[in-house]
Amino acid sequence: MAHSVRETALRALLAALQTVPAATVERETVVPERVPAGGLLILRDGEAGEPVDVVMSPLIYCYEHLAQIEAVVQSSNGEKRARTLDDLLRALGAALAADRTLGETVEWFEWAAPHTDDLAVPFGATIKGAVVPVTLIYSIAEDPLS
């Protein structure tokens, strides 16, 4: 059975994340207490929400699906944490910019500036993370579940 347009787009985005050098990539997982040395990218599926447009003939639903990418690094040194996260985000940007249609699974996708924060870990090095909002723009013919 073929995947839905939504799932196909999310899998293509996950594949793009997997091209980021040295980063560990996961989907819909909990941030661990120990982050891999190369950083961690977590794809959060988000939601398609309501269609932004509906074409009646032929029937087509147009979506701007909002997902998120969490970029996470860990170090006890604040300057190193900031530098490592910056390096990871720049590598992520290069990977995303390589194909704005994700192998033609979406009409277009774009991302916004990251929101960053530090998270203290009991008995461990501080985690610095960034949330990168991503908008996947795609159309579905006839059935919003397809």
pLDDT recorded at residue 79: 94
Please name the fold of domain 5-141: STM4215-like (3.30.2000)
Mean of all residue pLDDT scores within the chain: 93
pLDDT recorded at residue 9: 97
- What string of DSSP letters covers 35-83? --TT-EEEEEEEE--S-SEEEETTEEEEEEEEEEEEEEEE-SSHHHHHH
pLDDT recorded at residue 141: 87
What letter represents residue 81's amino acid? R
pLDDT recorded at residue 24: 98
pLDDT recorded at residue 85: 97
- Inter-residue contact 29 to 98 (CB < 8 Å): no
pTM as predicted: 0.93
pLDDT recorded at residue 23: 97
pLDDT recorded at residue 119: 82
Low-confidence ranges of the chain (pLDDT < 50): none
| b (16+ CB within 10 A) / e for 104-133 | ebbeebebeebeeeeeeeeeebebbbbbbb
